[in-house]
């Protein structure tokens, strides 16, 4: 299959938006709905860096898409479409390519989006992908990182640490004793759930938000610095899944690892203390649990971590790309 056959066979069926012109033009034409702003984000995923070689190709594609949708969710945006850049290994098989495209097909249905355009090449290096996700929100309503005020409460959605335990498991560094924990942790690592519904419902309620990709403590640090406040995280209040609790009980991991591991794709956000009812009903509507985990105060962009009231030592706050 040459580049043009590949595009026609695999990717053109994904380009269902009229402005994508079936991927037959030089570029796509795109317009945000009246009264809305366009929100754009890009993430890169490289084999051996962001995912392990041998990962199911459909899931590689789905994670690539979902980590970008998680960034849209953090801003409060509704996903609309995406651009895809693929550099496939020279030895990539037809089967791998078809499964990759199938993963996108499934997620386009799940998230109600379609492919707008992109580029595809072969590379002498490992597989490398880049995806640009495009979303929309009513003008002026984007949730920024910089809005945390002293006195605001800090919340997180879902549970934290599952991606980190999933990665330990995938690397052969952890084997759950409870057999049902393995597929759960594998799914958390490979197929995160972007909190799109929650993000949109937080518009006008949350004062700031971020998605947890680098590690909860590191990402709270990003919020604290952008907002010029100090944050205190109650480590013992952070919601953990049963599989993570069992890993802790078995001594296979520790709390610091779960709070710094990253790959959670939950939302961490702030809101004034009087907003609890609104937040809880937004979370209820979005069918996701949220948990109060901290407090903002005057400060200079620092995060203090307490565990049962005592300062907790954390050697590294999260994943660093460089």
Query: C-beta of 238: minimal distance to Mg ion in Å?
Result: 18
Q: Write the CB contacts of 198 (distance below 8 Å, at least 6 apart in sequence).
A: 73, 157, 267, 282, 283, 286, 288, 290
| Candidates 29-37, 187-195, 212-220, 276-284; binding stretch for Mg ion (CB under 5 A) | 212-220
Contacting Mg ion within 223-282 (CB under 5 A): none
Query: C-beta of 72: minimal distance to Mg ion in Å?
Result: 9
Query: C-beta of 120: minimal distance to Mg ion in Å?
Result: 26
Per rule CB under 5 A, count of chain residues that contact Mg ion: 3
- Which CB atom, from 107 or from 211, has the smaller least distance to Mg ion? 211
Phi/psi-derived region of residue 285, left when phi > 0, alpha when psi is between -120 and 50, beta in every other case: alpha
| Candidates 15-23, 97-105, 195-203, 206-214; binding stretch for Mg ion (CB under 5 A) | 206-214
- Which CB atom, from 190 or from 211, has the smaller least distance to Mg ion? 211
214 binds Mg ion (CB under 5 A): no
Query: C-beta of 76: minimal distance to Mg ion in Å?
Result: 13
Query: C-beta of 222: minimal distance to Mg ion in Å?
Result: 8
- Which CB atom, from 200 or from 213, has the smaller least distance to Mg ion? 213
Q: Select the residue interacting with Mg ion from 211, 214, 263, 264 (CB under 5 A).
A: 211
Contacting Mg ion within 70-89 (CB under 5 A): 71
| Candidates 7-15, 82-90, 125-133, 211-219; binding stretch for Mg ion (CB under 5 A) | 211-219
Contact by Cβ (8 Å): 36, 136: yes
Query: C-beta of 211: minimal distance to Mg ion in Å?
Result: 4
Pick from 289, 275, 295, 276: nearest CA to 233: 295
- Which CB atom, from 20 or from 222, has the smaller least distance to Mg ion? 222
Query: C-beta of 236: minimal distance to Mg ion in Å?
Result: 25
Query: C-beta of 210: minimal distance to Mg ion in Å?
Result: 6
Query: C-beta of 63: minimal distance to Mg ion in Å?
Result: 14
- Which CB atom, from 7 or from 218, has the smaller least distance to Mg ion? 218
| Candidates 100-108, 210-218, 222-230, 251-259; binding stretch for Mg ion (CB under 5 A) | 210-218
| Candidates 201-209, 213-221, 237-245, 299-307; binding stretch for Mg ion (CB under 5 A) | 213-221
Q: What is the SS3 assignment for the chain?
A: CCHHHHHHHHHHHHCCCHHHHHHCCCCCCCCCCCCEEEEEEEEEEEECCCECCCCCHHHHHHHHHHHHHHHHHHHCCEEEEEEEEEEEECCCCHHHHHHHHHHHHHHHHHHCCEEEEEEEEEECCCCEEEEEEEEEEECCCCCCCCCCCCCCEEEEECCCCHHHHHHHHHCCCCCCCCCCHHHHHHHHHHCCCCCHHHHHHCCCCCCEEEECCCCHHHHHHHHHHHHCEEEEEEHHHCCCCHHHHHHHHCCCCCHHHHHHCCCCCCEEEEECHHHHHHHHHHHHHCCCCEEEEEEEEECCCCEEEEECCEECCCCCCCCCCC
Contact by Cβ (8 Å): 188, 162: yes
- Which CB atom, from 213 or from 270, has the smaller least distance to Mg ion? 213
x/- track of binding to Mg ion for residues 52-71 (CB under 5 A):
-------------------x
Q: Which residues in this chain contact Mg ion in the complex, by CB under 5 A?
A: 71, 211, 213
């Amino acid at each position: 299959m040459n580049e043009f056959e590949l595009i026609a066979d695999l990717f053109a069926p994904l380009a269902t938006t009229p402005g994508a012109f079936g991927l037959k033009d030089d570029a796509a034409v795109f317009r945000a709905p009246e009264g809305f702003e366009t929100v754009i984000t890009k993430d890169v995923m490289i084999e051996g860096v962001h995912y392990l070689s041998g990962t199911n190709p459909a899931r590689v594609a789905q994670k690539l898409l979902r980590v970008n949708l998680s960034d849209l969710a953090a801003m409060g945006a509704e996903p609309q479409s995406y651009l895809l850049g693929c550099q496939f290994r020279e030895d990539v098989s037809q089967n791998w390519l078809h499964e990759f495209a199938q993963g996108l097909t499934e997620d386009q249905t799940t998230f109600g989006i379609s492919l707008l355009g992109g580029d595809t090449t072969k590379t002498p290096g490992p597989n490398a992908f880049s995806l640009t996700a495009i979303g929309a929100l009513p003008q002026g309503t984007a949730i920024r990182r910089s809005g945390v005020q002293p006195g605001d409460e800090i919340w997180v959605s879902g549970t934290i640490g599952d991606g980190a335990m999933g990665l330990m498991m995938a690397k052969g560094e952890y084997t759950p004793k409870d057999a049902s924990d393995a597929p759960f942790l594998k799914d958390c690592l490979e197929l995160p759930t972007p909190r799109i519904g929650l993000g949109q419902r937080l518009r006008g309620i949350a004062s700031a938000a971020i998605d947890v990709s680098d590690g909860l403590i590191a990402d709270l640090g990003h919020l604290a610095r952008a907002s010029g406040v100090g944050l205190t995280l109650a480590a013992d209040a952070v919601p953990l899944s049963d599989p993570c609790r069992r890993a802790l009980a078995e001594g296979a991991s520790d709390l610091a690892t779960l709070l710094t591991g990253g790959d959670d794709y939950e939302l961490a956000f702030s809101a004034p203390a009087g907003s609890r009812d609104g937040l809880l009903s937004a979370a209820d509507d979005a069918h996701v649990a949220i948990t109060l985990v901290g407090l903002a105060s005057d400060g200079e962009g620092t995060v203090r971590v307490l565990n049962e009231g005592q300062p907790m030592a954390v050697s590294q706050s999260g994943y660093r790309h460089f």
